[in-house]
Amino acid sequence: MRRSLTKQVIIRKKHDIDRIFKQGRRFSCKGMRLSVIANSLGYDRFIVIPARKFGNSVERNRIRRQMKEIFRLYDGRLMPQSEHSAIGHDFALVVFPGKLSSHSLLESDFLSLLDRVAGK
């Protein structure tokens, strides 16, 4: 298992982000909203977007780091795909301020969203 996310896994281009929000499927739970769309890259990509009213930059960057770590840990198990499939997914996670403080709570909420995405 790799120890950090590679640059290719983080979504940075505005047109990619806009495509996720305009065409992607949306799933919500208390404190976060996940948008998902298929890509043809063969691997999953991810972006964390804290809401504007999330707090100061320290809090926003902390939540980004926590969610990226959770994504890294569960990267291979995010979406079911066959071994010969060249389809990956783009994930955009918007995090809202509120009761999302502990790492375990963030992780359980994120995993419940992923279960809903996968249809479990």
pLDDT in tens, 2-19: 567 778 888 899 999 999
Ordered DSSP codes for 8-24 = GGB---HHHHHHHHHHS
Cross-strand pairs, 103: none
Annotated domain spans of the chain: 7-118
Q: Structure tokens of 22?
A: 């305009």
Checking if the pLDDT of 112 tops 90, the result is: no
What's the pTM? 0.82
Contacts of 52 (CB under 8 A, 6+ apart): none
Instruction: Look at residue 44 in the predicted model and tell me its pLDDT.
Output: 87
Checking if the pLDDT of 52 tops 80, the result is: yes
CATH level 3 topology of 7-118:
Ribosomal Protein S5; domain 2 (3.30.230)
Checking if the pLDDT of 118 tops 80, the result is: no
Summarised one tens digit per residue, pLDDT across range 54-100 is 888 888 898 888 888 888 887 766 665 544 456 788 999 999 887 65
* Residues 49 and 95 sit within 8 Å (Cβ to Cβ): yes
Measured CA angle at 18 (ends 104, 98), to 5 deg: 30
Instruction: Look at residue 33 in the predicted model and tell me its pLDDT.
Output: 92
For 88, list phi and psi in degrees, rounded to 5.
-115, -175
**Which one is predicted more confidently, 42 or 4?**
42
CA distances to 18, 19, 46 from 37, in Å: 11, 8, 11
